[in-house]
Amino acid sequence: MSQLPRPAHTRRLRSAAVAVVLLGLLLAPAAVPSAAAPRLPAATGSAPVVTTVVPGGTAALTGYAIRSAAEVPDTAAAVSTPGYATAGWHRAGPRSTVLAALVADGTHPDPFYSTDQQRIPRRDFAGPSWYRSDFTLPDTSERTSLDFSGVISAADVYVNGRRVASAAEVTGVYTRHELDVTDLVRAGTNTVAFRIQPNDPRKHLTLGWLDWLQPPPDANMGIVRDVLVHRRGPVSLHDAHVVTGLDVPSSESGRAQLTVKAHVRNDSRKTATATVTAAIGGTGIVLREDVTLRAGEARALVFAPDRHRELRLQRPALWWPAGMGPQNLYGLHLTATVAGSRSDSVRRSFGIRDVKAPLNSAGARQYTINGRPLLIRGAGWSADELLRWDTTAAEDRIKAALDAGLNTLRLEGHIEPDEFFDLADRHGLLLLPGWECCNKWEGPVNPTGSGEKWNAADRLTARASMAAEAARLRDHPSVLSFLIGSDFAPDAQAERTYLDALRAADWPTPVVPAASAVTTALSGPSGMRMTGPYDWVPPSYWYDKREGGATGFNSETSAGPSIPTLDTLRRTLSPAELETLWTSPSAPQYHRSPSPTFNTLRLFNEALTRRYGAPRSLRDYVAKAQLGQYENVRAQFEAYARNATDPTDPSTGLVYWMFNSGWTSLHWQLVDRYLDRGGAYYGAKKANEPLHVQYSYDDRTVAVINRRPAAVSRLSARVTLFGTDGTSLYDRTVRGLRVGGGGARTTALTVPAVRAAADGPDATYLARLTLTDAAGREVSRNVYWLSARPDVLDYDATDWYHTPTTTYGDLTGLNSLAVATVTATARTTRRAGSMSTTTVTIRNTSSGNTPALLTDLHLVDGRDAPVLPVRWNDNQINLWPGESAVLTADHRTADPAGSTLRVRISGWNTPTTHIDASSP
């Protein structure tokens, strides 16, 4: 660590918050409050589809008519009465912020292009807005309730002209509310109306955007999770979940114990006896118990293994992260019947796994899953800036994260809806959710943040938020921990509140007091650190065991800017902005960050110019950016992988800041808004190969990393160094290598230092590393562009977001590489369903000994627009003359059939060409 004082965490000049509030505990029967009073909107559009709720069913409201309250002169009672005219109101989906709806209907421009977001007046969102929806009931024979969370920032709630909850009660995006409206509903059409209050993340426990992107003008006010209408009999089921215990160390032949828990509540006005049945799918387990409850009584029900021996499982099917084993899931079906008729039922899925995270001898948190240690290879997740949910898009991003070799995503606030966690369970991606930094969430403890201090109501909201999210997330085996603090740990009172809520929810995984290096009285040391960096540093930085280098568990770290592909830039920035991007290195960039610390690309651009040479055009600038991002991201993940098995102070986890952006960004992303992938992504994918050969910038060792479960023997590692003119400088092969499984490493050799002129083409050279198996098949290839003159860092001048570079490596010799020629053929095969695979065979047909460096393949349509998303098995490859590769691209089948499909081939020293890739 630097000896310079650093702000306790000035680190991100962010402004965001996540609101929370108690509307009454889940087990307490919901009261029906007083009458009407307020007023709100009036606008246009077709009416939303009316939700119909069948007896014994649950349905989500299908959408809303919305309008600014300032434009609605009528009373709240009138607005919330069935039949109220909403001609002129805007239409919103079932999960929508105000701005998302107004962008969708064309009222406001696309905020993702250029500076168009600045054209949206913030004053339009300064007051409350109405959200109005209808639902129909065929009869009123059952009890009816509303169940929801996701209100930003608070709301008065009305049903059929009556207020059922106030904004003082329904406050906070994470608090959950169940409102019994049985006495207000009728057969036929019913109306629910929310008067949504404006959001300010500095003042409310909601959410915001800090310095990730330009925050939306409406501050995300709206309803961003489903509002459910339940119809049930007299006895209802709540808080159903399964507590799992696993004997560790364990394997598929181990033992597990299950405990099924729920609360049973009599919502009627007379005593009732319910038969509760618990069935666990895939096990044959069916349990029953009769429960007699007085009117309004709630009682805990527990099916425990000490009374039900069938809950002791032999050889359970365990849930594993991707790459470590299968993602086995079980299902719980709980039913309550009264007098032979179903009264209520719930379904939950769960996984059996054991997560531990003790501190190692160096004080770093070391995660284990089912007894096996793993290095956390993570990245920060961003929700969509307008909080629009798209299950397909989320799954595409989760698949992209896994394909890049990541095993974890961190959610700092912006805790996504249920489907996100279901996808992570199914695909085996670990998750680290937690509260946000720097706004209201850290108001009591963060002196450099923007959040206001808490009052008594805020503490109730925080408690309710933790209780609701703990209950929602606890059964998801993908959830690795919950971080109750980010840059700062909560104060003692809040920490106890959080821990009590987690304990009451039977939270099954480690609770981390903060993502930064703190120690609290109740939780002890966090075992994490938040040293950054957040802006450009050279690849060699990651190998030093100091600051953000590869040691311990770094919860946020990257070299900052990430310039997307030229395709994405052209659909993101105006022509004038594209010109400024490469001609004005220190100019403010609207699409980088609102923070004065990060609103330019000055550090990145200076490094790019000093190391690769001044850009000659936009295309040249983007090409150099891809080279720089590839080498930097690769080095970060490789350094942490190499040091994971160090005997002293090993690396245990890193969270690349960030994986994706919720906006069109030049900042903190491995994939861009459109899921196009460039140097940053493919650098991570290369570094995180299951079996991987890599070069170390600090000591020039070549190591083999094996992330597969089993050891591998009889490997051969070959290292060849080349000058930029193709001259061979060094060539050595080491045979008979063996490396253990589970992230083990073995060192193959040390590469000699290259002596060359201090500057110019001779200072730049290439290193080609190949790893072959016992049959001589190439199983890993890794190519580095290196400088005989190293980058030199000034650690004494380190600040909270980067370490300055005083001398830059010289990679300008790459500009003198001879032009390489490649030829390729492509063929697209339609698979079952909606997917196709394009197979490309590419060969370097150049004479001499110059490689085709960082050769990129893009699948494009007839207008040369990228076909996205695409999963390439490899990309941005490096081929020497005579070498060839077969690459595959999995993508959705083009529509309509026969659409033009081509492969665009380009590279650092390869002219751009196109080949046909249409189906035969």
The CA distance from 857 to 917, in Å, is 12
Nearest alpha carbon to residue 17 among 134, 127, 135, 154: 154
DSSP code for 428: T
The CA distance from 548 to 315, in Å, is 42
3-state helix, strand and coil shares in percent for the chain, rounded to the nearest 5: 15, 35, 50
The CA distance from 436 to 414, in Å, is 8
Calculate the alpha carbon distances from 143 to 179, 338, 878 in Å.
Answer: 11, 14, 66
Mark 261-271 as b/e (b = at least 16 C-beta within 10 Å): bbebbbbbeee
Mark 185-213 as b/e (b = at least 16 C-beta within 10 Å): beeeebbbbbbbbbbbbbbbbbbbbbbbb
User: Both tokens of residue 360?
Assistant: 């190692």
Calculate the alpha carbon distances from 301 to 159, 277, 569 in Å.
Answer: 32, 11, 57
Calculate the alpha carbon distances from 891 to 260, 476, 728, 755, 873 in Å.
Answer: 42, 29, 39, 46, 12
CB hemisphere CA count around 448 (13 angstroms): 14
The CA distance from 315 to 328, in Å, is 12
The CA distance from 516 to 839, in Å, is 45
The CA distance from 800 to 516, in Å, is 12
Q: Answer for the pair 35, 10: CB distance below 8 angstroms, yes or no.
A: no
Give me the active site residues, please. Answer: 487, 556
The CA distance from 148 to 64, in Å, is 15
| Helix/strand/coil for 469 | helix
Residue 802, φ and ψ in degrees, nearest 5: -170, 170
DSSP code for 918: -
| Helices and strands in the chain, H and E counts | 11, 51
